[in-house]
Amino acid sequence: MTSNLSIRSAGPADLPLIAELIRALADYEQLADEVRFDEAVLGDRLFGARRYAEVLIGEVDGAAQGFALFFHNFSTFEGRPGIYLEDLFVQPAARGSGLGKALLAKLAALALERDCARLEWSVLDWNEPAIGFYRSLGAQMMDAWTVMRVDGAALAKLGTEAVKSA
């Protein structure tokens, strides 16, 4: 039996769905304790005057079963923008339907349409099913790179130091 897949851009009415899918992703990644967003603030950042990210909703037979949240970055070496995929998630019941590939294909099409040099994302090193899936699509591991992050108290401290030295 073939499923009917569709991908659409999210709108403000999708905010509760997006929040639900983010929480489901966090559960899958064993990071539920790190979900701290305020839904109203999230909605403002996604659909307000200054939009920081975009969301695609993936549907199987008319029912929302997944999402991709992404934003633009910029490659100085290429001199062109790129698309960074922050989150990709497909509900367990819809895995194997082709929805994950359809979401990534839509992002690749957007990257081409927007003259982006690349589409990139991070994946948890223990997530072998996802890594295998991404490789099957032609994605390459960027083994020479390590993700760095400053957040929480370290971010506040560093930001405060920048203000003092300015």
Extract the tokens encoding 138. 């032609």
Instruction: Please indicate whether residue 52 is annotated as part of the active site.
Output: no
**Catalytic pick from 28, 52, 84, 134?**
134
Element housing 135 (H / E): helix 128-136
The CA distance from 39 to 37, in Å, is 6
The CA distance from 119 to 82, in Å, is 6
DSSP E strands, 19-158: 54-60, 63-75, 80-90, 119-121
Any idea which residues carry the catalytic annotation? 134
